Chains A and B, each alone.
Chain A
């Protein structure tokens, strides 16, 4: 089955700086990689996703890169703002069988 490791577990940055969160997966058949943002007491919110036939995807200040050979993918947030503070989860799925989440990264953006 799939295992997803996420690093770092906590990340603190100054407002305006960039933040990078990295995940690795074990199942080479994985083909879909979403990222979720979860604020305290709220539901996970899909912020960006990437499929295995694409190496990079960008949406305003957020980007995701995928390296299939190395089996890792990363979330990049530029020009961070205090409202970006939350727990971020990566996930990986192979077809319809299973979806595995990383343990999460608590991002704190200091004003």
Chain B
């Protein structure tokens, strides 16, 4: 069984640029959720994809967008980066729609300068 993986591990971008983060779900999981975790805080839900369709979205602006592929891997795209976007971005996969038995990847640390 393969766990959740994310790439890249670290990323440094300049304000105004665009970034794409990638996530491979755990084997057998068809749902991927993305979270933003600022330093010292709990994860904040960005959105979830279930079988390539968006299945819920948190309170994030439209410049945060995503995609899920037929193999259930996923991308998070952030346009027009702001300094406040600096955070750890976590993806998590689960075996069905929703959040039951959700397992996290190691995260991508994004720094916006």
Interface residues of A (CB under 8 A from B): 1, 6, 32, 34, 36, 42-46, 49, 89, 91, 93, 95-104
Contacts and interface: CB of A to CB of B under 8 A. Distances in A.
B5 to A, nearest CB: 11
Contacts of A98: 45, 56, 58
Of A1, A42, A95, A97, the most chain B CB neighbours within 10 A belong to: A97
Given A32-B99, A34-B99, A96 B56 contact: yes
Given A89-B43, A95-B98, A45 B56 contact: no
A86 B9 CA distance: 22
Nearest to B42: A101
Interface in B41-84: 41-45, 48, 50, 55-56, 58-59
Nearest to A9: B40
Interface residues of B, number: 26
8 contacts: A1-B59, A34-B99, A42-B106, A43-B4, A43-B107, A46-B102, A46-B103, A101-B42
Nearest to A1: B59
Contacts of B41: 103-104
Given A44-B90, A96-B97, A101 B43 contact: yes
Contacts of A95: 98
B100 A49 contact: yes
Contacts of B100: 32, 49
Contacts of B4: 43
Given A43-B107, A96-B48, A98-B56, A103 B102 contact: no
